[in-house]
A and B are shown apart, each in its own frame.
Chain A
Amino acid sequence: MLKPIFTFLAASLLLVGTASAETVKLALIDPLTGPMAAAGQPAFEHLKYEAKRINANGGLNGQDLEIVGLDNKVNPQESLVQLQKAIDDGVRYVTQGNGSSVASALISAIEKHNQRNPGEEVLYLNYAAVDPAFTNERCSYWHFRFDANADMKMNALTDHIAANDDIKKVYLINQDYSFGQAVSKAAREMLKEKRPDIEIVGNDFHPLAKVKDFTPYVSKIQSSGADAVITGNWGQDVTLLVKAAAEFGLEAPFFTYYGASSGVVTQLGDKGVDRIYQINEYYGEFEDPEMAKRQTELYEQAEWDFYYLRLSTMLDMLKKSADQAKSTDPVDVAKAMEGMKLETTTGEVVMRAEDHQIQLPMFISVMKDDMEYGAEGTDYNFKKVARIDREAVSLPTTCRMRRPK
């Protein structure tokens, strides 16, 4: 049993100091093994797939993009070890998405690293950590977010709910930690402002990833007479919740943040149809042939769906910045990326310079059967219900960006 230990010990010695200058390395620091791997693996495959396209189109300012996967087991401390490994390996671009705790650790570590090591700056491209603080009071020059933050998503979602006069009673159910509490708070404030007549008939918190049986919560929702449920739940917490609701014949729709994340469609099947809505930057219809091609190819190659349009946007913007700056140095690229505009399949998106928060249109979609491009090999996918324009999604920021001289 000692053999593997020795081999990788030897390998780790070899690894030290083998940075090559030809490629630009982008390190994905996300869970790639263990119980949370289903969250990190699709992003990894997605990035590798998109990198091929970028490289076929000339790469970043002529240099090839290489994706390096580093496993952090969603642990902030382990992420810092992996970050150091990446830096030693010559990585100057880091991306991560799962867990605000990890994002928080990376932001402060990269900020310190860049301060302590001028000339070796590292850029952090955040594709899914949605804590609004990262582009408000904790904003950092070295951090760019390519996903709408939690408040922006709620802003779009409440616009949609406010426009629907049938909804009079809303139930909130969220995970009991900082993100879930932020979702609940934003929902209450924004609904109060947009539709004072809507009554919040329940505001539940349950522990993160601990509840196996959601039926008691569903009974409560049922007896409250809610017309709609809003939840920020992700992973098993959203699947089990909607599944329990379907089994008890609860008719109210579920407005979710992560209804289309991996595994949900497979487990819900027809229980999710017309019941589960999601707010995201994209949906599952793929009427753009280019996007349809990507969906088909990615699923054939890696058995993951084209869920992260924002990863494509992120790499396209990275390419555009590098080409514009005629450099792949993070300092130049960061400068070029501020205020960058990009035309995507859903419309124009802007990387706002004041807080490095992307501004983009969002979509409400609902799960349907018999879709042309089914998710996860099923016939189900998310069909567009409404588009919320970029200006309507946008929120002001409190960020006071400290730019390096």
Chain B
Amino acid sequence: MNDITAVAPRQNRFSWRALSPWLISAAVLLILPFVLDSGTAFTLMNVIAVNIVFALSYNMLLGQGGMLSFGHAVFFGLGSYAAMHAMNAIDEASYAGEGFWAHIPVVSMPLVGMIAGGLVALVIGWPFCRRAGTAFAMITLGLGEMVAAAGQMFPSVFGGEAGIYGNRMVGPQWFGLELAQAADVYWFMAFWTFLAVFAMWAFTRTPLGRMSNAVRDNADRLQFIGYPPRNIRFMIFIASGSFGGLAGGMAAVNYEIITPESLGLIPSGLALLMAAVGGLGVFYGPIVGAIVVSLMNSMLSDYTEASILYVGLVFLAIVMFAPRGLGGGIEHVRVAAREGTLGKRLPGWLTGAVAVVLISLGLVLLIELLFQWRHGDDEFAQFFGLNFVAESVMSWVWALILFGAGVAVMRVTKKFREDNA
């Protein structure tokens, strides 16, 4: 884990420079709805918003605390269930016109999810946090499987396979936001995502946030200077669980349905996938990862039936060749630009990019040919404007040539890149 760089050093003075990313992202969030015009775009934005918070909360554990978890969806799912039950309570209470829940707006559901996620982590977390590493990974795996199975066993709480569903257009409205369309929900999502991301960033600047980096890098030393690592891990676990629950609360409002499979290994793996693709070592890495993986999940399958294979290959390639993830790549460019070395380094990077494009084109072609050979037509191949026929040897040769050319460019330009690094 030594490759993970610590966040930038603390700046005591107020500076516009430190504030600028926040102002820019707030501006983007405000302008986006006027650029987008289709329901799909808003729906996708809302999904991405939920996934951003989910991936960032996961990275509090893995990237910052060094705790690899395979059960993070437990907090997401239970937070979502709590919010959904609360939403139904609001529905009933406002129908009756009285009671505590009649005064709670649906907009606040992420808070309910957050409290639920935090409470669950508080109750179960202590025995889990004795060790990091493999033991923690395995115990969270077991936890995830158990909770997911329990989800199917208690239909009165989890609603069985069909899950529980609700209606977000109930209770008191805030700011006239009636949450009917995906476009209305966007404002709700933008607000909570911005708030949650800011809160999680602020968490990295607290003493506890710093301590979580320390427990990741050297737990023994932390023990020697008088901070029991287990306590620190426990606190990170609770914080991460809370934000996972918050993402769950956002999901409850967005989808208006929650099913037991949201508690299982697949969504937990998704969190890991998003965080790792985006980069564990950069704060905004999981945001990039969440955007890329969500889009791939929802859009890629329209073009190819091998979409999951592509997601897996992208993940594998990043783990092997770019362990700092997409966010790490962006950070590289940013640092180079700040140091004024961008002009010198860019040609080298471009050669690398050419090689990567060639290799991936070759691979995509190879996979699509394989697919055509086994299962017949696939739209992805036509999409490239290449109507290659699997029977013809030439198309296989082309795929290999592209792949080989990419590898060759990579090899030949290796020294050039190193000289200009």
Q: Which residues of A contact B (CB under 8 A)?
A: 1-5, 7-9, 11-12, 15-17, 32-34, 37, 70-71, 73, 75-78, 80-82, 84-85, 87-89, 99-101, 103-105, 108-109, 112, 116, 131, 133, 176-179, 181, 207-208, 210, 302
Contacting residues of chain B (1-59) with chain A, CB-CB under 8 angstroms:
37-41, 43-44, 47
Find B39's partner among A87, A108, A207, A210 (CB 8 Å cutoff): A87
A101 x B261 contact (CB < 8 A): yes
> Which residues of the other chain, A, contact B360 by a CB distance below 8 angstroms?
1-4
Roughly how many angstroms separate A263 CA and B167 CA in the complex, as a whole number? 39
**Least Cβ–Cβ distance between A267 and chain B, in angstroms:** 20
**Least Cβ–Cβ distance between B144 and chain A, in angstroms:** 14
Kindly report which residue of chain B lies nearest to residue A87, judged by CB atoms: B39
> Which residues of the other chain, B, contact A34 by a CB distance below 8 angstroms?
308
> Which residues of the other chain, A, contact B43 by a CB distance below 8 angstroms?
80-81, 84-85
With contact pairs A16-B41, A101-B261 given, residues A9 and B295 touching in the complex (Cβ less than 8 Å): yes
Roughly how many angstroms separate A16 CA and B40 CA in the complex, as a whole number? 8
B40 x A88 contact (CB < 8 A): yes
Chain B, residues 355-371, CB within 8 Å of chain A (1/0): the string is: 01101110010000000
Looking at chain B, what size class is its interface with the partner chain? 35 or more
Other 9 A-B pairs with CB < 8 A, given A5-B296, A104-B165, A177-B152: A16-B37, A16-B41, A73-B297, A76-B257, A77-B262, A101-B161, A105-B255, A105-B259, A108-B257
Contacting residues of chain B (110-155) with chain A, CB-CB under 8 angstroms:
149, 152-153, 155
Roughly how many angstroms separate A133 CA and B149 CA in the complex, as a whole number? 23
B302 at the interface (CB under 8 A from A): yes
* Interface SS of B by simple majority: helix
> Which residues of the other chain, B, contact A179 by a CB distance below 8 angstroms?
161
B257 x A77 contact (CB < 8 A): yes
B307 at the interface (CB under 8 A from A): yes
Find A88's partner among B39, B383, B384 (CB 8 Å cutoff): B39
Name the residue among A7, A32, A82, A101 with the largest chain B CB count within 10 angstroms.
A101
> Which residues of the other chain, B, contact A208 by a CB distance below 8 angstroms?
152, 161
A76 x B298 contact (CB < 8 A): no
B190 at the interface (CB under 8 A from A): no
Find A8's partner among B37, B47, B299 (CB 8 Å cutoff): B299
A176 x B38 contact (CB < 8 A): no
A5 x B307 contact (CB < 8 A): no
> Which residues of the other chain, A, contact B255 by a CB distance below 8 angstroms?
76-77, 80, 105
With contact pairs A1-B314, A77-B257, A101-B162 given, residues A71 and B182 touching in the complex (Cβ less than 8 Å): no
Chain B, residues 278-314, CB within 8 Å of chain A (1/0): the string is: 0000000000000010011111111101111010011
> Which residues of the other chain, A, contact B225 by a CB distance below 8 angstroms?
none
Roughly how many angstroms separate A108 CA and B259 CA in the complex, as a whole number? 14
B298 x A1 contact (CB < 8 A): no
A3 x B259 contact (CB < 8 A): no
> Which residues of the other chain, B, contact A12 by a CB distance below 8 angstroms?
295, 299
A104 x B303 contact (CB < 8 A): no
B96 at the interface (CB under 8 A from A): no
Roughly how many angstroms separate A76 CA and B163 CA in the complex, as a whole number? 9
A11 x B163 contact (CB < 8 A): no
Roughly how many angstroms separate A156 CA and B297 CA in the complex, as a whole number? 41
B305 x A33 contact (CB < 8 A): yes
* Interface SS of A by simple majority: helix
Find B38's partner among A81, A88, A101, A131 (CB 8 Å cutoff): A88
Roughly how many angstroms separate A251 CA and B360 CA in the complex, as a whole number? 55
**Least Cβ–Cβ distance between B317 and chain A, in angstroms:** 5
Find A4's partner among B181, B301, B305, B310 (CB 8 Å cutoff): B310
B182 x A8 contact (CB < 8 A): no
B149 x A2 contact (CB < 8 A): no
B296 x A2 contact (CB < 8 A): no
Roughly how many angstroms separate A400 CA and B384 CA in the complex, as a whole number? 51
With contact pairs A81-B43, A81-B298, A178-B162 given, residues A16 and B308 touching in the complex (Cβ less than 8 Å): no
Roughly how many angstroms separate A77 CA and B317 CA in the complex, as a whole number? 28
Kindly report which residue of chain A lies nearest to residue B309, judged by CB atoms: A33
Find A17's partner among B38, B180, B259 (CB 8 Å cutoff): B38
Roughly how many angstroms separate A85 CA and B43 CA in the complex, as a whole number? 8
B160 x A108 contact (CB < 8 A): no
Kindly report which residue of chain A lies nearest to residue B167, judged by CB atoms: A112
**Least Cβ–Cβ distance between B41 and chain A, in angstroms:** 6
Query: Can you spell out 23 A-B residue pairs with CB atoms less than 8 angstroms apart?
Result: A2-B356, A3-B357, A3-B364, A5-B296, A8-B295, A11-B299, A12-B299, A15-B40, A17-B38, A33-B308, A76-B255, A77-B262, A80-B43, A81-B47, A85-B40, A85-B298, A101-B162, A104-B165, A108-B165, A112-B167, A112-B256, A178-B160, A178-B162
Kindly report which residue of chain B lies nearest to residue A117, judged by CB atoms: B181
**Least Cβ–Cβ distance between A9 and chain B, in angstroms:** 7
Kindly report which residue of chain B lies nearest to residue A179, judged by CB atoms: B161
Roughly how many angstroms separate A238 CA and B235 CA in the complex, as a whole number? 45
Roughly how many angstroms separate A104 CA and B259 CA in the complex, as a whole number? 10
B274 at the interface (CB under 8 A from A): no
> Which residues of the other chain, A, contact B298 by a CB distance below 8 angstroms?
78, 81-82, 85
Contacting residues of chain B (302-335) with chain A, CB-CB under 8 angstroms:
302-303, 305-308, 310, 313-314, 317-318
